[in-house]
Amino acid sequence: MAEVEEIAHEEQNIEKREKKKGKHEKPKPWDDDPNIDRWTIEKFDPAWNPTGMTETSTFSTLFPQYREKYLQECWPRVESALKEYGVACKLNLVEGSMTVSTTRKTRDPYIIVKARDLIKLLSRSVPAPQAIKILEDEVQCDIIKIGNLVRNKERFVKRRQRLVGPNSSTLKALEILTNCYILVQGSTVAAMGPFKGLKQLRRIVEDCVQNIMHPVYHIKTLMMKKELEKDPALANESWDRFLPTFRKKNVKQKKPKSKEKKPYTPFPPPQPPSKIDMQLESGEYFMRDKKKSEKKWQEKQEKQSEKSTENKRKRDASFLPPEEPMNNNSNANKSEDGKNDITELTNSLKSKTKELKKQKKTHERVNAEEYIAGPSSSADKSSKKSKKIRD
Higher pLDDT, 362 or 89: 89
Using the predicted structure, report yes or no on whether residue 342 has a pLDDT greater than 70: yes
Between 333 and 210, name the one with better pLDDT: 210
- pLDDT score of 1 more than 70: no
Give residue 2's pLDDT.
47
| Any domain includes 343 | no
* 50, 115: one domain: yes
| Domain end marker among 248, 274, 309 | 248
CA distance 227 to 241: 14
Region 218-236 average pLDDT? 89
pLDDT of residue 388: 46
Q: Tally the residues of the chain.
A: 391
Averaged over 49-73, what is the pLDDT? 93
Q: With bands split at pLDDT 50, 70 and 90, how would you rate the model's confidence at 363?
A: low
In a domain, 341, yes or no: no
* Mean pLDDT, range 71-77, rounded to an integer: 95
Q: What is the mean pLDDT of residues 124-140?
A: 93
pLDDT at residue 364 is higher than 60: no
Rounded to the nearest 10 degrees, what angle do helices 169-178 and 215-229 cross at?
30
Give the phi and the psi of residue 283 in degrees, each rounded to 5: 85, 5
| 61 and 131 both lie in a single domain | yes
Give the end of a domain, one of 137, 162, 186.
137
Question: Is the domain of 160 the same as that of 233?
Answer: yes
| Of residues 207, 188, 185, the one with CA closest to residue 147 | 188
- Cα dist. 131→45, 74, 107 in Å? 23, 11, 21
Which region among 58-72, 213-227, 294-308, 323-337 has the lowest average model confidence (pLDDT)? 323-337
Q: Is the same domain home to 224 and 167?
A: yes
Judge if 157 and 128 occupy the same domain.
Answer: no
Whether 295 has a pLDDT exceeding 60, the answer reads: yes
Is it the case that residue 74 has pLDDT exceeding 60?
yes
Q: Quick check: 192 and 134 in contact, CB under 8 A?
A: yes
Whether residue 323 lies inside any domain: the answer is no
- How far apart, in whole angstroms, are the C-alpha atoms of residue 71 and residue 89? 12
Looking at the fold, whether 62 and 125 belong to one and the same domain comes out as yes
Q: What does the pLDDT look like over 246-294, one tens digit per residue? A: 776 666 777 777 778 888 888 888 899 998 998 888 887 887 777 888 8
Pair type for strands 97-102 and 181-185:
unpaired
In the listed set 209, 229, 248, which residue is the last one of a domain according to the structure? 248
pLDDT score of 23: 65
β-bridge pairing 140-145 and 58-62: unpaired
pLDDT at res. 18:
52
Report the alpha-carbon distance of residue 176 to residue 179 in Å, rounded. 5
Same domain for 128 and 220, yes or no, is no
142, part of any domain: yes
Residue 73 placed within a domain = yes
Domain assignment of residue 347, yes or no: no
Domain of residue 58 covers: 41-137
- Look at residue 130 in the predicted model and tell me its pLDDT: 95
Residues 91, 143 share a domain? no
**Are residue 154 and residue 82 in the same domain, yes or no?**
no
CB 146 within 8 A of CB 160: yes
Contacts with 49 (C-beta within 8 Å, 6 or more apart), sequence order:
107, 108, 109
SS3 letters across the chain:
CHHHHHHHHHHHHHHHHHHCCCHHHCCCCCCCCCCCCCCCCCCCCHHHCCCCCCCCCEEEEECCHHHHHHHHHHHHHHHHHHHCCCEEEEEECCCCEEEEEECCCCCCCCHHHHHHHHHHHHHCCCCHHHHHHHHCCCCEEEEEECCCCCCCHHHHHHHHHHHHCHHHHHHHHHHHHHCCEEEEECCEEEEEECHHHHHHHHHHHHHHHCCCCCHHHHHHHHHHHHHHHCCHHHCCCCCCCCCCCCCCCCCCCCCCCCCCCCCCCCCCCCCCCCHHHHHHHHCHHHCCHHHHHHHHHHHHHHHHHHHHHHHHHHHHHCCCCCCCCCCHHHHHHHHHHHHHHHHHHHHHHHHHHHHHHHHHHHHHHCCHHHHCCHHHHHHHHHHHHHHHHHC
Distance CA 211, CA 158 (A): 11
| Candidate ranges 282-286, 329-333, 384-388; pick with highest mean pLDDT | 282-286
Same domain for 184 and 194, yes or no, is yes
pLDDT reading at 81 higher than 80: yes
| Contact indicator for 163, 227 with CB cutoff of 8 Å | no
Domain count, the chain: 2
- Residue 332 placed within a domain: no
> 152 and 132 in one domain?
no
Residues 107/123, Cβ–Cβ less than 8 Å: no
> Facing residues of 193 across strands?
140
Domain identity same for 153 and 231: yes
Domain of 57, CATH number, reads 3.30.1370.10
Is the residue at 163 inside a domain?
yes
| More confident: 350 or 120 | 120
Give the per-residue pLDDT at 362. 65
